[in-house]
Structure 1
């Protein structure tokens, strides 16, 4: 009995002791390696209709000391350093280059902790921001990333070298960690179809059609638009010229289409506008009408328009009188003669 009481007392004392002292989580292993590099990921998505192909693009980023976390300005915390150190010269600009892509791609860039000039333990805040460019069809990452660097010691040994831990946070949802930067290239298509109607419409005749594309304001088209018309053809980035009146870039091509022919332009960046205009054939007595819309804005699908050329109607001289007026007159004469005979 005495042993049981003694054992119970020891257990109770142990429980009280464990409750009296706070529990400390194990110190995590530094996630910034010996090379001191923090790796940040960039995803480049390619979406849209047929034969989409994102142009080669270099994305630019800037790293700046300080960040806004849940509405509060942060620089350095829990440190003897009263201000966040200035970064090494020319270390704040970062780039990620992509070649032309037909499907999603991933790239990375690194931040060297040595360039942050951290010399004292503490928690340091940085903002990583993508610099928007002007490539038509590309959506750039609107929200920056918050990089939190914790400088401290990996263990309580003799080594006095600082170790580093990094946390990468979404600027809008701080608890959302390691979300990559994302960019999206979106392209669509335009299909133009030709119809010829009327008794005198020449279905073998090829009609010239002008198609004009206009880039969104402030944007430059770096994509190559492809189409097939009398062979494979394309509209290269160099084909776009600046309209000094609208201050927007334009490209115009002329295609030939006969009855039931069509041409489809692919890999047109989203938000590019188009106008389809057939050349004037009124002297040849053709009347052109447009189904759907002769103008519009490219999205991520296939836009279409059909041009119908009408010439001639259903009045054709066959040598046979089809009008019933003469027969009506003849019947009237016969009826009149009959009435005369009856009256006599």
Structure 2
């Protein structure tokens, strides 16, 4: 956390915050060394991190989160401003000091005098700053179509996960396989690295799929079908990526994605009549009955 002196909250008295302390980083890893109410108990900072003058007084510090230049993928950082008001008072026996601390949101306004209270909305220490992590899913599916297709066939694929531009592999936890219908290997619950190089092998048949979760925005999923050369490969209508030479490449956005492969094999049967309906069957039956009748008549004449 970064904190400095807020212009609108000058200390009461003549104390001026030293320039060097404006860039000082406050520690948020220990309990606050001050009396506290429900809004103060979990601030997790140390009074010693703030350069305060000797003697009683009220002092205010502007606090912001130190947002990294290269943000963690999928994390939305809380860049709001908070104001920490520290009151220094003599203790009961006048042998030392006691400290009171209160955190306010950006509506904070300092009190008119040291005897008055500041105005603004109090902020609970455990909810002072909230960073949100968002990730999405992608479903890779398979379908088989066509009059001459083998509907029981299995097709092999490689899947590679690449990190977003400007990011590194170390910034990602990895994608988890939550559902897998394939039969080549059991990869359910495995975590796949997002590292631009590792290729994972899967096998999918008709109406089978694999689901990958925990994919932050910007990750690219590249899926290559490595066999099925006798089939025409297309993508499903709901596919979010682009298809080129049996390869679908999709970049994760703010919503869940779908990558669907469709293999189709059509052909012309080597037969004159397609026997797939009643009229043709009836015609053949009539011909067969007529043939039997002619044969019986010929035998009868021969016997006479």
Question: TM-score of the superposition, structure 2-length normalised?
Answer: 0.63
User: Does the CA-based 8 Å contact 1:84-1:124 persist in structure 2?
Assistant: no
User: Does the CA-based 8 Å contact 1:293-1:305 persist in structure 2?
Assistant: yes
Secondary structure at the aligned position of 2:137 is classed as: strand
After superposition, the C-alpha distances for 1:166-210 in whole angstroms (9 at most, x for unaligned) are: 221223x33232152101111211111111111221223222233
Number of the residue aligned with 1:219: 167
Unpaired runs of 5+ in structure 1? 1-60, 68-72, 97-107, 242-249, 323-344
User: Does the CA-based 8 Å contact 1:80-1:120 persist in structure 2?
Assistant: no
Secondary structure at the aligned position of 1:218 is classed as: coil
Number of the residue aligned with 2:79: 142
| CA shift in 2, pair 1:214/1:321, >3 Å | closer
Number of the residue aligned with 2:209: 262
Rounded to whole Å, the distance in 1 between the matches of 2:66 and 2:11 is 28
| CA shift in 2, pair 1:321/1:211, >3 Å | closer
Number of residue equivalences: 230
Which residue, out of 239, 242, 256, partners 1:293?
A: 239
Q: CA deviation at 1:236?
A: 4.0
Which residue, out of 157, 167, 186, partners 1:231?
A: 186
| CA shift in 2, pair 1:65/1:302, >3 Å | closer
Number of the residue aligned with 1:92: 26
Q: CA deviation at 1:162?
A: 2.6
Which residue, out of 312, 317, 324, partners 2:270?
A: 317
User: Does the CA-based 8 Å contact 1:210-1:252 persist in structure 2?
Assistant: yes
User: Does the CA-based 8 Å contact 1:95-1:109 persist in structure 2?
Assistant: no
Rounded to whole Å, the distance in 2 between the matches of 1:184 and 1:253 is 30
Secondary structure at the aligned position of 1:182 is classed as: coil
Rounded to whole Å, the distance in 2 between the matches of 1:269 and 1:177 is 33
Question: What's the Cα RMSD here?
Answer: 3.3
Number of the residue aligned with 2:59: 124
Q: CA deviation at 1:122?
A: 2.2
Rounded to whole Å, the distance in 1 between the matches of 2:49 and 2:60 is 14
Number of the residue aligned with 2:15: 81
User: Does the CA-based 8 Å contact 2:29-2:44 persist in structure 1?
Assistant: no
Number of the residue aligned with 2:244: none
Larger strand fraction of residues: 1
Rounded to whole Å, the distance in 2 between the matches of 1:320 and 1:85 is 95
User: Does the CA-based 8 Å contact 1:196-1:309 persist in structure 2?
Assistant: yes
